[in-house]
Chain A
């Protein structure tokens, strides 16, 4: 099994089961300086508020609260949507060496998926957490 097979499964049923590992693995190899996959990282100190059922895929609100481990600070944050055509939604470089941070934003989701927030700290550590959502669809075709 090659990497493309692993990351772009044809069978939709297999896709469901493989999705987490595949996307996390695929993404982590494209994030600079990250050898560990997102799903392997500790999620401690990262709290996400993300609707379980999204009103609309056009604007899904995300709140990410991050607390740095003892003795270090938050250096950068990344928001990743593995199912989106461009999965890296947002990258933040924080100045001032904050030990805690709260980010609020709105994201466009191409499909139901989990959002991942990866935090990198001053001591070289990284943590990640995710939250799933299901996009509800509208009934009417809008050609306006």
Chain B
């Protein structure tokens, strides 16, 4: 009963936090599309061809790192087959009681690898991204399932509210809120970019302009620099809050990463 009340409160806050979206003719639900729908024909063709898709390199590395036999110190030892992790990628970011903050999948991978024979450092470490690619690939087709664990509803809701607030607050020299592009101008072009509704189903992404694989943390930081705002440091709670909000907003859409992006 208490949980239902919180959920209602949460959704109420969320709806109130996006007045612009409510007044817009095109409701965000009709733009519930994956970023793949906004890829050019060439990039989509490259993405769909495993022999040409750069993301495949990271995916294969992920499989290699995971292992497929019970060997000491590797992922397989604790988790078994990567297939058993189906659905895991749909649940992040989570509220971590031990760390008293939101953690996303890459954060979790870093935590896990500290226990393995190959402790990794850095959110954009190629091996972290490789494992993230594997775990997202394993959850392909499954919808996001954002929820607070019992007892953590208050901080989770608070984080979600903060994310919603960021999404609707103007920022940067360009003085734009996320809503200005990603709610009000979906499908419009900014030079060669086509504005998507920013549903984060495709992570981790191989971004052509990065010429490398990158996490959602990196992509959100790029958004801040895109409006010429102060960029939060990698791993900031602000980025995790925004990620949580974006995934709640995208609920219903299935995971379809790893992906290719411009």
Q: Which of B82-90, B99-107, B216-224 is found at the contact surface with chain A? A: B216-224
Chain A CB within 8 A of B231 CB: yes
Residues 40-66 of chain B, each 1 if its beta carbon lies under 8 Å from chain A, else 0? 101100100000000000000000000
Q: Closest CB of chain A to B224's CB: distance in Å?
A: 8
A55:B218 contact, CB within 8 angstroms: no
Chain B CB within 8 A of A141 CB: yes
Question: In the assembled complex, which residues on chain A have CB atoms less than 8 Å from the CB atom of B228?
Answer: 141
Question: In the assembled complex, which residues on chain B have CB atoms less than 8 Å from the CB atom of A141?
Answer: 225-226, 228
Picked from B43, B191, B221, B231, the residue with its CB within 8 Å of the CB of A136 is: B191
Q: How many Å lie between the Cα of A51 and that of B41 in the bound state?
A: 12
With CB as the reference atom, state the residue of chain B lying closest to A59. Answer: B208
Q: How many Å lie between the Cα of A59 and that of B212 in the bound state?
A: 12
With CB as the reference atom, state the residue of chain A lying closest to B220. Answer: A144
Q: How many residues of A contact B (CB 8 A)?
A: 15
Question: In the assembled complex, which residues on chain A have CB atoms less than 8 Å from the CB atom of B231?
Answer: 143-144
B226:A56 contact, CB within 8 angstroms: no
Chain B CB within 8 A of A2 CB: no
Chain A CB within 8 A of B209 CB: yes
Q: Which A residues between 121 and 144 are near B, CB-CB below 8 angstroms?
A: 136-144
With CB as the reference atom, state the residue of chain A lying closest to B191. Answer: A139
Picked from A59, A61, A136, A143, the residue with its CB within 8 Å of the CB of B192 is: A136
Chain B CB within 8 A of A58 CB: yes
| Residue among A59, A140, A144 with max Cβ neighbours from chain B (10 Å) | A144
With CB as the reference atom, state the residue of chain A lying closest to B231. Answer: A143
A144 with B43, Cβ < 8 A, contacts A137-B192, A138-B262 known = no
Question: In the assembled complex, which residues on chain B have CB atoms less than 8 Å from the CB atom of A136?
Answer: 191-192
Question: In the assembled complex, which residues on chain A have CB atoms less than 8 Å from the CB atom of B191?
Answer: 136-139
A55:B222 contact, CB within 8 angstroms: no
Q: How many Å lie between the Cα of A33 and that of B99 in the bound state?
A: 67
Q: Closest CB of chain A to B50's CB: distance in Å?
A: 15
Residues of B within 8 A of A (CB): 40, 42-43, 46, 190-193, 208-211, 214, 218-219, 221-223, 225-226, 228, 231, 262
Given A143-B222, A143-B225, 19 other A-B residues pairs in contact with their CB atoms under 8 A: A55-B40, A55-B42, A55-B192, A55-B208, A55-B262, A56-B192, A56-B208, A56-B262, A58-B209, A59-B208, A61-B42, A136-B191, A136-B192, A137-B191, A137-B192, A141-B225, A141-B226, A144-B210, A144-B219
